[in-house]
Amino acid sequence: MPQPLATRAPAKINLTLHVLGRRADGYHELESLVVFAGTGDDLRLEPGGTLALAVTGPTALLAGSHADNLVMKAARLLAERVSGLKVGTFCLTKRLPVAAGIGGGSSDAAAALRLLGRLNSLPLSHPALREAARLTGADVPVCLEPRARMMRGAGEDLGPGLSLPRLFAVLVNPRVPVETPAVFKALGLQPGQGLPAAAHPVPEAPSPDALLALLKNTRNDLEPPALQIQPLIGEALGLLRATDGCRLVRMSGSGATVFGLYDDCDAAARAARQFRRLRPDWWVKATSLR
Ligand SMILES: C[C@@](CO)(OP(=O)(O)O)[C@H](O)COP(=O)(O)OP(=O)(O)OC[C@H]1O[C@@H](n2ccc(N)nc2=O)[C@H](O)[C@@H]1O
Ligand SMILES: Nc1ncnc2c1ncn2[C@@H]1O[C@H](COP(=O)(O)OP(=O)(O)O)[C@@H](O)[C@H]1O
């Protein structure tokens, strides 16, 4: 019997997200410093038979139908490009909130491509794998090799892996989905129109303080339109900012998840406990980012 293959699908966090402009095809040119969390979904692949998916876990029911699952979309796109691709049954343990600005579905899709790559001896640099990632969604390429890097273009233009200090964070989501296309639409850019550019090159191996100083001079341009659509994001930002030891708060991606940064693991754990007392029904997670 072939051994099942397994991988983690970590949450993606946009520490910065500058929208440079809107292209003629409607997509937006981005510049984003992306990192990955210690928390995420889990994906297993049991090789053999036809392509199938089973989803369990606390947010399984929110992830939509199996046919529309991004795991299946990525696998189908790869199978269309690699003849005789060996497949099997994917078992997804879904824990991350859905439509939450932390790329859960994208990270699941990228995890599926990693596992199929392993099963079929395809390196992550294989053109079919890269193309399947890009066609699955704008955030999938950066999730293929989940490590800190700059992401540009619509998401396909990736910088080299960055050596960042580990950051200690609390992630908060009010458990309300926010749809990405609606947020980009609410930004209100016309094709060809841009926002003021503000390049933010990351120095080689910055200290935690240097990284924090850089983050304070940057933004998430999707925060204002997302706040218009879902005012609970403003509440999340305000409550998190007020937790003890919080150094910076910001929304990730198109929301609604927001993150707070703290000096160390204990401060983040304390803040998460403090926050849970205020909003016991929300998703609150202390984690590290890098
Ligand atoms: C905003 C970001 C930032 O990392 O994260 P999330 O909020 O999804 O986590 C991503 O760009 C989201 O990536 P992803 O969720 O994969 O986007 P897709 O499915 O490809 O596109 C959904 C829709 O978002 C808009 N879109 C997406 C990416 C982009 N650069 N410009 C866009 O205008 C388009 O309207 C598109 O139809
Ligand atoms: N494996 C999956 N996990 C989560 N959402 C998925 C998945 N597959 C498909 N989707 C769909 O993709 C959309 C975006 O979900 P998600 O990736 O969680 O968003 P975000 O990138 O904003 O965190 C949702 O509307 C959801 O129905």
Q: What is the pLDDT of residue 200?
A: 79
Q: Is 63 in the pocket of ligand 2 (CB under 6 A)?
A: yes
Classify residue 102 by burial, with Cβ atoms within 10 Å: 0-12, 13-18, 19+: buried
Peptide bond into 256 cis (omega under 30): yes
CA of 68, closest atom in ligand 2:
9
> What separation, in Å, do the N-terminal and C-terminal C-alpha atoms of the chain show?
36
- What is the model's pLDDT at position 66? 86
Judged by its nearest atom, the ligand closest to the C-alpha of residue 22 is: 1
Q: Is the pTM of this model over 0.95?
A: yes
CA 205 to ligand 2 center in whole angstroms: 32
Fold of the 167-289 domain:
Alpha-Beta Plaits (3.30.70)
The residues spanned by each domain of the chain are 5-158, 167-289
pLDDT band at 1 (very low <50, low <70, confident <90, very high): low
pLDDT above 70: residue 271:
yes
> Which residue of the set 12, 73, 94, 285 is catalytic?
12
Q: Is 12 a catalytic residue?
A: yes
Could you report the per-residue pLDDT of 143-198, keeping only the tens digit for each?
999 999 999 999 999 999 999 999 999 999 999 999 999 999 999 999 888 887 77
How far is the C-alpha of 269 from the C-alpha of 275, rounded, in Å? 10
Architecture of domain 5-158: 2-Layer Sandwich (3.30)
Q: What is the mean pLDDT of residues 76-96?
A: 98
Pocket test for ligand 1, best of 18, 152, 180, 254 (most atoms within 8 A of CB): 180
State ipTM. 0.98
* Ligand whose nearest atom lies closest to the CA of 94: 2
Instruction: Please compute the mean of the pLDDT values over residues 271-287 and round it to a whole number.
Output: 98
**According to the model, what pLDDT value does residue 3 have?**
58
User: Does 103 appear as a known binding residue?
Assistant: yes
Say yes or no: CB of residue 71 within 6 Å of ligand 2: yes
Residue-level pLDDT at 203: 84
101 assigned ligand-binding residue: yes
Mean pLDDT for the chain overall: 96
**Tokens 């309300």 belong to residue:** 176
Residue-wise pLDDT for 17-59, tens only, equals 999 999 999 999 999 999 999 999 999 999 999 999 999 999 9
- For 252, the token pair is 């990730």
3-state SS assignment for residue 262? strand
**What gap in Å lies between CA 289 and CA 169, rounded to an integer?**
7
- What is the average pLDDT across 275-287? 98
Q: Is 48 annotated as a binding residue?
A: no
Strands, E assignment, the chain: 5-14, 18-22, 28-47, 52-56, 88-93, 149-153, 157-158, 167-173, 248-251, 258-262, 283-289
**Residue 244, SS3 per DSSP:** coil
